[in-house]
């Protein structure tokens, strides 16, 4: 097998760049958005590393190339595989199942076959890039079979896997017909990382119930031909490049843009902000409903209050997402029709993405950040908002069902299903005394600025490197 000898190989569903097909038939690459890219790019740029992933375009093949200090290795997917492995099994089976069945998952054998086939292709690509005894770090739920496949191909490797979304309780997980295959796939890793201690505990319980393997605390003993391996399952809460957001928010250009945003919105006394992918797990409808009721009850009034909701497009080919967009837009239109005034809307709704500079300005302009996820692995938006609040001004209303709730104890925690409780929390945030606001925000900022993405990746990789490594055995 050809070896290019990379010390660290990251395997993710997507490359950190998207392919752009130009009108003249040529292709170029542009940096892709997303928390995973933000989290891993700094690590890759300081290591002799390769990143294995899909380009984002179906039926597109490209040779490995260098970009941004990384070796990028595109894995091709056919249009049918995108529909079955990605839109199907990953986003219509695993995503709703792992998010507490907020939307019902669909189970199709053809989707599972595509998922298994694509996972094999990713494992083979990673095996080709990794040097002898290298570290391979597999990312997220689209690639849960890769660790075991990779171990079969390259038992000399040290394999880590990080699960960015929630891992469900046993009673939910076991609805999946291929539950044992997924568990076996994950157990190919030496270290399995989760966002929350509860997620790691859920996985350990699944292993106990579905297998006869021995578990001791976070360690699972997996027997093999060359002796037993010890697999660790632990929490490693992910973070952001907080220094970058802090620096952005301190720049005069961003501060001026924040002032412009408030002015363009009519200089409301209180500006509330929601920033999400347009996803049914984010609780966007719950927050808009709560805000609409506060207006209807006279507890908030237009133009004194305004809500900016950024809902970036997401999985637009999946029916559940198309339906959600219609529901949100109808709700926004109704509230604006009932409470808006000429020159002052109740809700400013944007269905597109923004660059980091504009996001930092929005965070800086906002008085109250609303993160009302019904279920979320972490929620990096909450941390970005805190990192951008350089003047210690602003209140974070945060769902207790987001992983960030375990860390961000200076926020106002809410159950987004409790609309009355959510309304009370929003009103409390709007009327909070400046002294309490500063105290809470200083506490939040200490945590976010200290526990940044570099600390997350270093902690995961250090733990992985400390796991006793099983011998390669005869290959």
> For residue range 268-297, what is the model confidence (pLDDT) as tens digits?
999 999 999 999 999 999 999 999 999 999
Do 76 and 170 fall into the same domain? yes
Would 381 be classed as within a structural domain? yes
- Residue 465, helix vs strand vs coil: helix
Cα torsion 369, 374, 378, 379 to 10°: value is: -30
Would 473 be classed as within a structural domain? no
Tally of domains within the chain: 2
pLDDT (0 to 100) of residue 182: 98
Q: What span, in angstroms and rounded, lies between the C-alpha atoms of 395 and 429?
A: 6
Q: Please give the DSSP secondary-structure letter assigned to residue 281.
A: G
Judge whether residue 472 has pLDDT over 60: no
Q: Is 164 a catalytic residue?
A: yes
Would 21 be classed as within a structural domain? yes
Do 155 and 211 fall into the same domain? yes
Contacts of 294 (CB under 8 A, 6+ apart): 300, 423, 426, 427
Do 204 and 260 fall into the same domain? no
CATH number at residue 189: 3.40.50.2000
pLDDT (0 to 100) of residue 311: 95
> Active-site residue among 276, 376, 451, 452?
376
> Which whole-number Å values give the CA distances from 141 to 36, 193, 277, 352, 391, in the listed order?
13, 12, 18, 25, 38
Cα torsion 178, 183, 187, 189 to 10°: value is: 80
pLDDT (0 to 100) of residue 35: 60
Confidence of residue 394 (pLDDT cuts 50, 70, 90): very high
Q: Which two tokens stand for residue 319?
A: 């029916």
Would 475 be classed as within a structural domain? no
Do 249 and 212 fall into the same domain? no
Judge whether residue 19 has pLDDT over 90: no
Would 471 be classed as within a structural domain? no
Put the strands of the sheet holding 229-235 in their side by side order.
65-67, 70-74, 49-54, 6-14, 130-139, 158-162, 191-194, 229-235, 219-222, 214-216
pLDDT (0 to 100) of residue 2: 45
Environment class of residue 367 by beta-carbon count within 10 Å: exposed (0-12), middle (13-18) or buried (19+)?
Answer: buried
pLDDT (0 to 100) of residue 475: 35
Do 96 and 162 fall into the same domain? yes
Confidence of residue 4 (pLDDT cuts 50, 70, 90): low
Do 142 and 290 fall into the same domain? no
Structural domain range at position 414: 242-450
> Which whole-number Å values give the CA distances from 461 to 95, 149, 232, in the listed order?
26, 21, 13
Would 474 be classed as within a structural domain? no
pLDDT (0 to 100) of residue 1: 40
Do 168 and 94 fall into the same domain? yes
Do 264 and 347 fall into the same domain? yes
Contacts of 23 (CB under 8 A, 6+ apart): none
Mean pLDDT of the residues in the chain: 93
Do 319 and 460 fall into the same domain? no
Do 229 and 276 fall into the same domain? no
Environment class of residue 474 by beta-carbon count within 10 Å: exposed (0-12), middle (13-18) or buried (19+)?
Answer: exposed
Do 192 and 270 fall into the same domain? no
Strand runs (DSSP E) across 320-383, as ranges?
Answer: 347-350, 368-371
Would 382 be classed as within a structural domain? yes
Evaluate whether 149 touches 23 at the Cβ level (below 8 Å).
no
Environment class of residue 279 by beta-carbon count within 10 Å: exposed (0-12), middle (13-18) or buried (19+)?
Answer: buried
Put the strands of the sheet holding 347-350 in their side by side order.
347-350, 305-312, 270-277, 368-371, 395-399, 412-414
Would 63 be classed as within a structural domain? yes
Do 213 and 274 fall into the same domain? no
Instruction: Quick: pLDDT tens for 307-356.
Output: 999 999 888 877 888 899 999 999 999 999 999 999 999 999 999 989 99
> Active-site residue among 92, 99, 140, 164?
164
Tokens 């987001």: give the residue: 402
């Amino acid at each position: 097998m050809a070896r290019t000898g990379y010390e660290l190989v990251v395997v993710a569903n997507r490359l950190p760049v998207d392919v752009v097909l130009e009108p003249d038939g040529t292709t170029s690459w542009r940096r892709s958005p997303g928390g995973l890219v933000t989290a891993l790019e700094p690590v890759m740029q300081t290591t002799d590393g390769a990143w294995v992933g899909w380009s984002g375009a179906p039926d597109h093949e490209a040779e490995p190339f260098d970009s941004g200090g990384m070796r990028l290795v595109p894995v091709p997917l056919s249009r049918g595989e995108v529909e079955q492995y990605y839109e199907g099994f990953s986003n219509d089976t695993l995503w709703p199942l792992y998010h507490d069945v907020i939307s019902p998952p669909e189970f199709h054998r053809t989707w599972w076959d595509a998922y298994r086939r694509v996972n094999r292709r990713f494992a083979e690509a990673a095996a080709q890039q990794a040097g002898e005894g290298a570290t391979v770090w597999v990312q997220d739920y689209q690639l849960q079979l890769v660790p075991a496949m990779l171990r079969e191909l390259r038992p000399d490797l040290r394999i880590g896997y990080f699960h960015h979304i929630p891992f469900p309780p046993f009673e939910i997980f076991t609805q999946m017909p291929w539950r044992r295959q997924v568990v076996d796939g994950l157990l190919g890793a030496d270290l399995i990382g989760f966002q929350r201690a509860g997620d790691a505990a859920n996985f350990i319980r699944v292993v106990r119930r579905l297998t006869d393997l021995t578990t001791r605390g976070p360690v699972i003993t997996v027997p093999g031909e060359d002796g037993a391996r010890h697999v660790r399952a632990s929490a490693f809460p992910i973070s952001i490049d907080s220094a970058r957001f802090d620096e952005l928010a301190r720049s005069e250009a961003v501060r001026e843009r924040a002032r412009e945003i408030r002015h363009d919105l009519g200089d409301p006394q209180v500006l509330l902000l929601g920033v999400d992918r347009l996803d049914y797990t984010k609780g966007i409808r719950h927050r808009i409903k709560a805000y609409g009721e506060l207006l209807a009850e006279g507890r908030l009034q237009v133009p004194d209050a305004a809500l900016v909701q950024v809902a970036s497009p997401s999985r637009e080919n999946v029916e559940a997402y198309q339906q959600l967009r219609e529901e949100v837009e109808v709700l926004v239109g109704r509230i604006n029709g009932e409470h808006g005034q000429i020159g002052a809307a109740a809700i400013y709704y944007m269905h597109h993405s923004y660059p980091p500079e504009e996001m930092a300005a929005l965070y800086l302009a906002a008085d109250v950040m609303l993160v009302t996820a019904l279920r979320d692995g972490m929620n990096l938006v909450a941390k970005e908002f805190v990192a951008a609040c350089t003047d210690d001004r602003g209140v974070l209303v945060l769902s207790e069902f987001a992983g960030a709730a375990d860390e961000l104890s200076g926020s106002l925690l809410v159950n987004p299903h409790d609309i009355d409780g959510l309304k009370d929390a929003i009103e409390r945030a709007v009327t909070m005394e400046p002294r309490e606001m500063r105290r809470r925000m200083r506490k939040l900022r200490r945590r976010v600025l200290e526990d940044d993405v570099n600390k997350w990746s270093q902690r995961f990789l250090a733990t992985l490197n400390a796991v006793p490594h099983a011998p390669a055995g005869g290959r």
